[in-house]
Chains A and B, each alone.
Chain A
């Protein structure tokens, strides 16, 4: 399968001030991330709040320029300069947002907003608002309503429909269901899966919910403090984690069948991701940390069918089914 989106050693930092009258420092939101997404597949990203997931999404779409590294879509470098080429590029790559209510204009009807892409790219968008509504399972009589008159799930359908109006090849979903009820979230996940098959879409799917990611992704990347620490198929990563952070994440999933399993409680908070943070970013909270971890930052290396960035990856776990 060909690679549709490829990030190579991408980093991005932001200037931040800790308090008044202190020097500015640079916080690294995404550090040296490389990943490839094959066409028609879903790459899931999981990680805690503030680990750089959303920054990664914006870098992948060319909404933010990386400080270092490069982003390529279908072999062509994605620039973040907002020129006509950038605007044309939007037809290929679209985004589904975490908060659909915020992403919709409060004073325009749903039908208007579904028709907006066709006005921005004349002749390039598909059909009418009715067609789009049908595509995402919205009834046509909702088209005359305003966003605040819809439920959360219906709003997210509008956002998805608007994103698909331009027949994109890549859709970046940034926490698309985290604002929704569990049952509605499941409907939206099913819709995204159905659309992926019908439209041959490629997804970069960002979530903090491991179960959701496992349902939809063929590959999953675990992110900690701006770095990808483990990449692999979800069954391997979630059932047989090797990175200590993944182990802790997975152990936090409540599961009635495996109540006896020990939980790994991480102590403390993540350190500030300043540029001079040396060694492994996870070492301050890691049970296996050794002196080497303070000096040398681990890079991703292949361990049993997945990539792990750890000097001391866990041994395979074999749990009784």
Chain B
């Protein structure tokens, strides 16, 4: 007699997830490196910048960047019309633009997720109100809304970051609501509710982790748009005010010298393009990674 056989084993499906540990494609690695460099600059701009960003060097006004004739090696990226070091100003601009964009992205994600969950949980008139707000936000051009708010509320970095936080929340609210509803319908959320869990537990511990990947992807798509909105508003003179620098107001101020000193507008514009492109590429790549059906 042999020992009693264990219960016949049910077949084990194969373990392991596809495409884990694979190196990202070269474009994505470049984009990630660029984003890393920008974040690093944002953190150490205060130490790295060779001059204070408001320091004037009137003797060296509009000095061109290095390889060109007449460049001053003390100002490798050139100087502006007041003799301020473009490199220092760029670093400070990256810091303020990234900081504002980052804060605004988090704010819009928080607003979107909260309103999405509220409308999925309460349904009825709460959902109706949220959806009307979503549609209203989607229908009004953001720049016009922003101009109106700044006109009434005045301008400060805080107001500006909060205002930009209103950009894109409606998409995240829609996504969140839809995914929370389907989570309740397909069962795991309902099953936890059937166990007697409170709504806060269901939403924060169960539904949120399941939709987080989608929300993060939506945030990476929102981030470049917020940088562009910030640049646009600062370019129009409504955002970060001189003598403080942001990528947008550097472009705005450089516009007057586009023929005499094109480097003033070229550097910040190039950084805006490269950074937004990098974040978009990484967001696209993340979406493909998270979506197991692709």
Show the binding face of A for B, using Cβ within 8 Å. Answer: 61, 63, 82, 86-91, 94-95, 97, 99, 102-108, 116-117, 120-121, 137, 145, 148-154, 159, 162, 166, 183-184, 187
- Taking a contact as CB atoms under 8 Å apart, the answer to whether A149 and B191 are in contact is no
A145 to B11, CA, bound (A): 15
| A116 lies within 8 A of B194 (CB) | no
User: What per-residue 1/0 map shows which CB atoms of B182-219 lie under 8 Å from chain A?
Assistant: 00001110111111111001000010011000000000
CA distance A107 to B214 in the complex (A): 14
> Is A105 touching B15 in the complex (CB atoms < 8 A)?
no
Question: B192 touching A107 by the CB < 8 A rule?
Answer: no
- CB-defined A-B contacts under 8 Å, sample of 11: A82-B193, A90-B196, A105-B210, A108-B206, A117-B195, A148-B13, A149-B12, A150-B12, A152-B10, A159-B191, A187-B10
A99 CA / B190 CA spacing, docked (Å): 12
Given the interface pairs A99-B187, A102-B186, A103-B187, the reply to whether A120 lies near B195 with Cβ below 8 Å is yes
Known contacts A97-B187, A99-B187, A149-B15; decide if A154 and B10 are in contact (CB<8 Å). Answer: yes
| CB pair B195 A116 closer than 8 Å | yes
Known: A99-B187, A107-B210. A87 touches B13 (CB 8 A): no
Once A88-B196, A90-B194, A106-B210 are accepted as A-B contacts, the answer to whether A187 and B188 lie under 8 Å apart by CB is no
Instruction: Determine the residue in chain B with the shortest Cβ distance to A87.
Output: B196
In the complex, what's the smallest C-beta–C-beta distance from A120 to chain B, in angstroms? 5
How far is it, in angstroms, between the C-alpha of A86 and the C-alpha of B196 when the chains are bound? 8
What 1/0 mask marks residues of chain B from 1 to 33 whose CB sits below 8 Å from any chain A CB?
000000110111101000000000000000000
A residues within 8 A CB of B193? 82
In contact, A106 and B187 (Cβ under 8 angstroms): no
Contacts A97-B187, A149-B13, A166-B195; A105 near B201 (Cβ below 8 A): no
User: What is the interface of chain B, defined by CB distance below 8 A to chain A?
Assistant: 7-8, 10-13, 15, 186-188, 190-198, 201, 206, 209-210
CA–CA, A63 and B194, complex, Å: 8
Closest to B207 in A: A105
List chain A residues, Cβ under 8 A from B11: 151
Contact of A107 among B15, B194, B209 (CB under 8 A): B209
Residues of B near A102 (CB, < 8 A) are: 186-188
Q: Which residues of A contact B195 (CB under 8 A)?
A: 90, 94, 116-117, 120, 162, 166
The residue in chain B whose Cβ has the minimal distance to the Cβ of A159 is B191
Give the nearest-CB partner of A106 in chain B: B210
* Inter-chain contacts of A107 with B (CB < 8 A): 209-210
CB <8 Å contact, A116 and B210: no
What residue in chain A is nearest B206 (Cβ atoms)? A105
- CA of A137 to CA of B9 in the docked complex: distance in angstroms? 11
Please, which residue of chain A has its CB at the minimum distance from the CB of B199?
A: A82
4 smallest A-B Cβ distances: which pairs? A90-B196, A102-B187, A87-B196, A151-B10
Given pairs A63-B194, A107-B209, A150-B12, 20 additional interface contacts (CB within 8 A): A82-B193, A91-B196, A94-B194, A97-B191, A103-B191, A105-B209, A106-B210, A107-B210, A108-B209, A116-B192, A116-B195, A117-B195, A120-B196, A120-B198, A151-B12, A152-B10, A154-B10, A159-B191, A162-B191, A187-B8
CB distance from B191 to the nearest CB of A (A): 4
Q: Which residues of B contact A82 (CB under 8 A)?
A: 193
A153 and B10 within 8 A (CB): yes
In the bound complex, residues from chain A placing their C-beta under 8 Å from that of B201 are 120
Docked pose: A159 CA to B191 CA in angstroms: 9
Residue from B187, B192, B194, B209 whose CB has the most chain A CB atoms within 10 Å: B194
Query: Which residue on A lies nearest to B16, using beta carbons?
Result: A149
Q: Is there contact, CB below 8 Å, between A120 and B197?
A: yes
B128 to chain A, nearest CB (A): 17
Q: Which residues of B contact A152 (CB under 8 A)?
A: 10
> In whole Å, how far is A14's beta carbon from the nearest beta carbon of chain B?
15
Kindly report which residue of chain A lies nearest to residue B192, judged by CB atoms.
Answer: A116
- How far apart sit A117 and B34, CA to CA, in the bound complex (Å)? 46
Most central of B13, B192, B195, B197 by chain A CB within 10 Å? B195
Residues of chain B lying within 8 A (CB to CB) of residue A97: 187, 191
Q: Which residue of A lies closest to B210 (CB)?
A: A107
CB distance from A143 to the nearest CB of B (A): 14
In this complex, the member of A88, A105, A106, A117 whose beta carbon has the largest number of chain B beta carbons within 10 angstroms is: A105
Whether the pair B188, A87 counts as a contact (CB closer than 8 A) is: no
Please name the residue on chain A nearest to B15 by beta carbon. Answer: A149
Contacts of A116 in B (CB 8 A): 192, 195, 197
Q: Contacts A107-B209, A151-B12: A87 and B198 contacting too (C-beta < 8 A)?
A: yes
How far is it, in angstroms, between the C-alpha of A118 and the C-alpha of B188 when the chains are bound? 17
Check if A187 sits within 8 Å of B7, measured CB to CB. yes
In the complex, which residues of chain A have a beta carbon less than 8 angstroms from the beta carbon of B209?
A: 105, 107-108
Within the complex, what minimum Cβ distance (angstroms) separates A139 from chain B? 9
Q: How far, in whole Å, are A87 and B191 apart by their CA atoms in the complex?
A: 13
* Closest Cβ neighbor of A172 among chain B residues: B194
Which residue of chain B lies nearest to A156 when distances are taken between CB atoms in the complex? Answer: B10
Chain A minimum-CB-distance residue to B193: A82
Chain A residues with Cβ below 8 Å from B13 are 148-151
CB-defined contacts of B190 to chain A, threshold 8 Å: 103
Residues of A within 8 A of B187 (CB): 97, 99, 102-103
Residue of A nearest to B11 (CB): A151
Tell whether, in the assembled complex, residue B196 and residue A121 are in contact, meaning their CB atoms are under 8 Å apart. Answer: yes
Q: Which residues of B contact A162 (CB under 8 A)?
A: 191, 195
Smallest Cβ distance from B100 to chain A, in angstroms? 32
